[in-house]
Each structure stands twice: as structure tokens, then as C-alpha cells.
Structure 1
Amino acid sequence: MPDPATYRPAPGSIPTSPGVYRFSDAKGRVIYVGKAKSLRSRLSSYFADPAGLHPRTQTMVQTAAKVDWTVVSTEVEALQLEYTWIKQYDPRFNVKYRDDKSYPWLAVTLNEKYPRVMVGRGKKRKGVRYFGPYSHAWAIRETVDLLLRVFPMRSCSNGVFNRSKQMGRPCLLGYIDKCAAPCVDRVSAEEHRAIAEDFTAFMAGQTAQFVKRLEREMKQASNELEFERAARLRDDLGALKQAVEKNAVVFGDGTDADVLALAEDPLEAAVQIFSVRNGRIRGQRGWVADKVDDAETADLVERALITLYDGEDDEAIPKEVLVPVLPDDAAAVRAWLGERKGTQISLRVPQRGDKRALMETVERNAKQSLVMHKTKRASDLTTRSKALEELQAALDLEDAPLRIECYDVSNLQGTEVVASMVVFEDGLPRKNEYRRFVIRGVDGQNDVASMHETITRRFRRLLDEQAAAGATDVADAGDGDGSPSLLDPETGRPRKFSYSPSLVVVDGGPPQVAAAQRALDELGIDDIALCGLAKRLEEVWVPGEEDPVILPRTSEGLYLLQRIRDEAHRFAIGHHRQRRSKSMVESALDGVPGLGEVRRKALLKHFGSLKRLRAASVEEVAEVPGFGVRTAATVVDALAGDADKAKAMSVNTATGEVLE
């Protein structure tokens, strides 16, 4: 691995101007591209003390063998050149945005003699009016199908149009009144263009005038006793209102804006964008990015904006762009967008009102997108097989780890210490085999000792279960092949701890791994593989090794380990919160006259939480078995006094006075 000192530029040789720099490896491949307001300041930071660098940045610097740069005039030019180079060189240490979907647009070809409405993809053409983008083509077709009965414009291809014109007979849409049939001269070119312009005006948000016009015509037809025409107009009005409902107003002031939000984990980030035009949501798009470098949320937002608007025409860029956090070079991004739009662009973080509410909706969609991406990835059999094979190779195992158990410890400042055990078989969770542990032999906040106790208790139970199964088989000789039975003879169900894992994963680094290995050694178990996954750097640690096993960021094996670790963490947190809620109820009820342990447990079981118990009336408490009206009143009064005291404490603390 090259030493950064061997290719560090000479002092004073790096300019202080804005620019873009490239790190290349020994084979000349560009591995990282970045931009800077001051090249000297930025590049000098890479060659400082390696211990002060982010671990991923440290790896990049040690992988590189050369750095060069290009000076530009402004930060906007640096922004554009950085994106160009990232697309050109595809550097391995830059975030990989993969927007591999071709998002459909609703297009109206106003540049033709007889305008046509259709689904459009790819590069935009001059003279065509676009609406969207939409997430699915069927969403466009549903909208068009509703509107064609009110705005019967042409939607057929040129081939169908010319064939109908030659035959003198319209297509099916012409017969069912979803096309004005300009192909057979039912309407003139000017009349058909007027219909198309009304369609585009409606799609642009001018809906009220068309609704009022149909209502007026319907009432007029009814007054003139033209009931069939009035019924047809009524149905048209219903279709129009249904189309309006599909595009509900989110901004009352008719704002044009794009709303961008992110959902992240240590390996990936999901990007979602809602396009709002004339106050209505007109489209949605999104993609998933691999987080290869140490980019923060602000960097991800900046790169997402450049990916989104690069190559777009000025009409596709709205006057307002809402983001979860501002990019570090927000002024440069605004200037770049302004140059493309030809006018000033507002780039800001919404704080309140409708725009903040929509931002929260987009964030929820981004989180859902990331969950769906992970679920799809985890459910694929080929991907799971590849992940298990990668783990087998990386950890030097004899066989693929078909059964993996992962352990995590959770506590709050050393109180209510619990641990979790989750089980994955063939890369999928086996939730019926999850287990919880309450740590009692450890004082205070000591995750290492807690992990040692958890592993000891779990595998002591394994040995006990196997011994019990062996004894049962000896007593029932002749019923089997001599191997220990994994079924409980009394219940006929699998023994809780009788299955031995292929791999044990602990949440943590070398200290937790060493504690788990010590527990296994003390029990005389030497045939179970063990590793730890450190949360901060996603490094895989194995016992007795000074350096971690580094799996590629795109590795399916690393993704599987991360998913198992996150599931163990979720399960441990849930158990910890449940016990903390229970302890809060019990502590709040301590000292209530006539309330012993049995009654406290009955209250907890009936109401489930302290919040619900405090909100209960005397009659509701009296419904709990073992409680009378007098005892129920005592409980309600005690909890009400406790709540008032807590409220008074918080109020007076806010003013600087603490009351007992």
C-alpha cells in the first residue's frame, strides 16, 4: 500500500484557487474526485496525521499513488467539472448514484398539426409540453383515460392516425367519444388544437374554470330538458373531479417546487423527489446510492441535486427547491441552478407549514423506499447464497454459515441491562427462535461483561440441552440412531437452545469479540466460528487478529451481517424499553397503601403502560381483578399527585427554581 508521503505535492506548489482534484492509484485509475474552494487548504488536509482522518478517507489516501488538479475560475465551474469527472471516471471512492430507471412523462406534442397526448421517456424534444415525471407509466394512462372523455384529443400513434385517415373510419376511441376524430375531419385542426390547449391548461393546474364550465353547461342542458346531454356532462364532471383528486393541492399558493429527501444507513442512501407544479404533486422519482466514501448528508444532497438537474432544460427546474439540509456549497449550487434556469433559484430547508409537512411525507417515502430495497435484496435466493459464500470465504469457514446467531446488549446508563439473540437461517430471520436475556450479574454500564454473561448463559444452555437429549436417547434406546434428540419429550417441540449455530456475531469490536471468545473457551466449545461487527466503520473482527477483515462496501456478505446486527439491536432496544416502562409503573406505585406485588403486576398487565394507567378513571381501575372502588381511588389519587409533582418540577426548573 503506497505511503501518502511519497506522492505528496511539494509545499507551496498547490494553488489557493478553486478547483477540482483527482486521486489515482498505481495503475493510473482515478479512485476519487473532489472539489474545493481552496485547493491548497483542501489537499493539505489529506496529508495531515492519518490518525485524524476518517477511516474511509484514510483508506483512499493510502490506496492512491498520485494526485493532480485543475484550477477553475469559480466554485460553480468546480461544481460542474467535478460532476463531469465523476461520470467520466466512475471513481470507486465516490458515492455511486444509480438512477437506472427511465421515468415517464405525460407529453403533449404541441409541435404537430394534430397534437397528441402520450407517455414520453428519454430526452425531451422542443415544442412538446411535458408533465411529471411520474413513477409509473400506468399512472399516466389512468389520468389520460379519465381526461379524454372531457378533452377528447388524439392519443393514437401516427401509423394509426394515417390508416384511419385513409380508410375514412376512426379508431375505437373515436366511436366511444374519447377522441374528437380529427383523422376523419369531425373537427378541424384549429378546433382540435383548442382541445389540446385546454388539456394542457387543466394539467398545468387551471382546473377551477373547467369544473365551473361543465357545471354551468350541465345545469343549462337540464333546464332545456336535454337530459341525456346533462347526464353525459354529469359523468364528464365526475371524471374531471376524480382527476383533480388524484392530484390534490399541497401548496395553497400554487408554488412550483421540487422537494428532495433522504433516508440513510451506513451502506446506502435512498433519494426521493416529489415534483410540485402549480401547488399540485405532478410526479415522483427516486433512486438508491451506495455510500462508498465518508460523505455527510449535506454532500449527498448536493450530489443528488446535480444528478437530478444535469442535462435538464430550464422548464424542468422549478423556482424553488426544498431540501432536508443545505449543501456545504449552497451558494455555488444556487448559482449553478440559476445559470441553468436563467433566473434566481430558491434553495432552502422548510421549517413550518405545508412545505414542512410535505417534506416529512417525502422523507417517509424515502425511508419506505430504502426498506423495500433492502427487503427485495434480502429475499433474493441468489443474493442470499452469494452473501453466505462471501462470509465463508472472508472468515475462512469450512462450510457456509447456514445458521447465524447475533447478540447485542442494551441499557440506559447501566440500568435495566438486557441482551438479545436473533437467529438467521439461510439468510432469513427465524423470529420464533429469537431470545431475550436480562443481565443480572453485571454492575453498571459494562457491555463487555454483559456480552460475556450472555454468551455464557446461552451456550451453557446448549450444553445442558444436548446432555438432556443424550440422556433421553439412552433411556429410549432403540427409537433412534443414537444421536441426541432435538425435540422435548414432554412437549414434542424443539428444545429452545438445542441448535448449535454455524457462526456467532456480536455487536461490537475487539473487546466484545474477546469477551465472547473467552466465554466459549471457558465452556470448552471450540467448533463454533465467531466474529464481531463494529458499528462505526462496519469492520469485521475475528478473535486473536490485530487487524479487521475488510469486506467491500458493496459486498452482499457485509450487507447480511449489517442486517443481522441491526435486527439484534432493534430486538434488544424493544426489550429494554419494555422493561423500563414496567419499572416506571412499579416505581410509581411503590408506597401506595394496600398495593402489593401481585396487584402491581395485575395493573401492569391490564393497562400495559404508566401513561395509560395515569389516564384511567377510578371505575376503569376498579375493573381490574382484585381491586375495589376504594383501592382504585387510592391508586388514581397517588398517580395524579405524582403527575402534578412532576409537572411542577418541570415548570419550576424552566424558571430556575426547583421545588420538592
Structure 2
Amino acid sequence: MSVNLKEKILLLPDSPGVYKFYNKNGEIIYIGKAHSLRNRVSSYFKSDHRDRPRIISMIPLIADLEVTQTDNDIEALILESALIKQNQPEYNSMLKDDKSYAWLYVITKSRYPTVKIVRTTNKSEFINGKLFGPYPSGKTIKRVFNYIRKLYPFCTSKDPSKPCFYSRIGLCPGPDASEEVYQNNIKGIINLLKGRNYNQLRVLAEKMRTYAQNRQYERAAEIRDRINDLKYLGSEIKFNYFGTEEEYVESREERMRKQLNQLQKILGLEKLNRVECYDISNIQGKMSYGSMVVSINGVPTNRLYRIFKIRSMDTPNDYLMLAEVLSRRIKHINGDKDESLTEKPDLIIIDGGKGQLSAVHKIIPSGIAILGITKGRKYKRKGGKKKDEFWIYNNGTIEQLKIGPQQSISILRDEAHRFAIIHHRKLRKFMQKKSILDEIKGVGAITKKKLIKAFGSVEQIRGVSLEEIDKVIHNKKISEAINSALKRFKV
């Protein structure tokens, strides 16, 4: 595996998405989905694939990779399927057919509104209701169909004016039910498929508690199962239409762009194309670094990411370290060959509030807005999750911006933090190897190589006697220093 490919894998996000493997000719040879892109892609190069000969033959051909992040696993599944059909990769044996996806068709314009499973590539054919989906498999859509019918009965009979089998088992309202009953059930189904089930969950949870307090445990269990069904449906489908990869990426970028346009108006900026976000981190107060991530038109652009090693101090001071990083970054504007540094940002985001803004606002030249982001008070209704708060330097004062959640900003802040963690993970491994043998006086590269060759690892060297060490390097004084240092420190 090439160094470039290793670096790309280390920088992959721990989030759902789709990955594409390319060969040396730039051809896509495999497309896959993942709950965690980082874990899934790295597993190809770590795991033993003895029982999977196709994977064994594919791995040596992988020269490059590309990923597309999605909002959830279901979207990743749909995107994977669409891309496999579109590209027909050599190592994908499934999902190459042109069979259209399944949709739930909720017919609303009828005396007896109902739900059907349909397969189509043309949504315009269905004008008497709403389409929800697509669903990746017949099994999945049937499971959702059955859940919906259990929660909100509807009629599937060709003649709804006559009693049917399903009305006897509670899955159809029956011909005697009023039009209002049918309409209320269909509204409930539509709300479920749109993910609007919060109020229903709250009411059902209250009912479940009441039944349990009255020792009506069977009724409470029924309500519990219904709550689980609602939660399942709410998480199962949160999208309506999905086509090619370009359409998906475009819709995702469009959402980000809308948020940036809103922010641009609030901040009064002429343009908001390039946004940079900074995060400061260290390892136990040492080896401090600043990470810079860049977004172009709302899209994180990892080829422009950079790491700044803190030069000015050994003890951690977030304010001064942030000031150093921004000073070094600003001086490169319009005068650096490095693409990531020469262009002036429209907005700089820092992970911090009033203190950080006070420390750095004088460094930032006019024409560049600077925004701070902090974790604020907890939501009362969202499981204790903290809400992001935004701060801006404006005409000599630092003010809190009263704006709603800004996913585009929060994503960049989290991306800067993730990028810093990845770098520190590599750095920590390096320090563990370096700080033991390389910092012992008299131990150079040749001595270290002899020891590792003889014993295998630092941990193995720690377990041998002074005499055994000396047999390898033939220097009593250095052997004693090594033995003493390894007994004193742990890796």
C-alpha cells in the first residue's frame, strides 16, 4: 500500500458513507458502503481474508480511494446501489441489474385512502398521492409496510365497500369506518414516513407509564412495542428521492450553501466562499499543534488542510497558541506557493468564545470575519445535548450571535478537531517509539537497530537481563543506561 493511500485512510471520517477503490489506471474496481468509513476501509488492509479470494485478489490492485459521506446508513446503502449500477465495477458481484427501487405509494385522493408498494423510475406517474423511498430491498419495504399497517390500518381490498379478511384482524378499518378515520390514519402514516413522530412518541410514553403504574403490564408492553415501531420507522426513512451520486452530493452541498448564505447575510459579508476553521490540541500539555481545515463553497476540502506545530512555548496556553497559528497563517496570504495558504479566507472560525476572540482579533486583517463557536447550555428536550453558541467580534465588542443551529459551521469545527486527533494519534505512536530508546544517551540508530533485530520490540528488551543486552551491543555503560531507562519507564 502506498504512503499516499495510507495517509488517506488515516484521515477518513468515522461516519457513514460510500467508498470507491481505484486501480492504477484510475478505473473504479469496487464500491462499498460503511457505517464507519474509517473502520471499514482500514479493515481491508488489516484483516485476514483467507476465506474471501475475490478480496485477496482485489487488494493489491487498489491504488487510490474516494469517499462520499452520507447522513445515515440507509442513504449510504442507496448511494452504493446507484453507483454500482452506474459504474459496473469488476469486483462488485451484486446490484448490477437495472431493476428499479421499491417505493411506498400513499394514495390520498380517494374515499378509501391506502398504501401500495410500487416499483418505478418515473415519479410523475403517481399523481394521486405521495411517494416515499426508495427502499433498497423488497424485504425492507415489506417490513416497513407491515409496521405501518399495524400502527395505522388501511384497506388494500379491490372493493373497500365490502368487509375483508384484514378488517377481522385489525389491519383494515372496514367499510363501516368513517371517512375521518381513514383520513386520520393516512395522515399518521405520512407523518411517520416524514419522521414527524415526536408528539406521538411522547403521548404513547405517557400512556405506557400510566398502564405500568396501574399494573396493566400487558397493555404497557403493547404500547412499548408500538413506541419501538415508531422509533424504527422514524430512523428507517428520512429521505424521499434519490438518484445519481452527483444529485446526492449536490443536494447535500445545497443545504450547506443555504446555511452559509444565511450566515453571510447575518455577518454582512460581500462573499463567503472560503471558510477556515482552527483547533488547538496537545498531548498531556506537550507537543502542541494547531489544525486548519478549509471549506470551499460549503464543502470540506481536505487537500487544503494543514497542521501547524506550535513553536513559541512548551506549556499549553490556548490563547497564545491560537494567536501564533493565525499569525503564521495570515502572513502567507498572497505570497505563498502553497495553494492552501495563499488565498485569503472570507471567514475564520475558532473553537472558542470571548477569551479566544479577544486574544486574536487584532491579528486578523480587515476583510476577514472571525467567528467563535462554543458549547453552550443543554437542550431541555434533546437528551441533554449541548447547543452550539456563536460569538462575533464587532466594532470593538464581542457579541453573541442569536442564530439557529448552523450545521455547516459545526461540521467544520468537528472536522478540525478530528483532523487534530488523527495527527496526534500518529504523533503519539511516534513518541512511544522515539522517547524510550532514542532519548537514551549513547543509543544511536545502529544500536537501536541491533536491539530491535535481536529482541523484536522495546517491550521485549525490557524483559531481558543486562547481560543479554550487553551481548548484543558490547558496551557495558550503554547497556546499563538502557536497562535502567526501560525499567524506569513504560511504553
Provide the TM-score with structure 1 as the length reference: 0.35
Larger Rg: 1
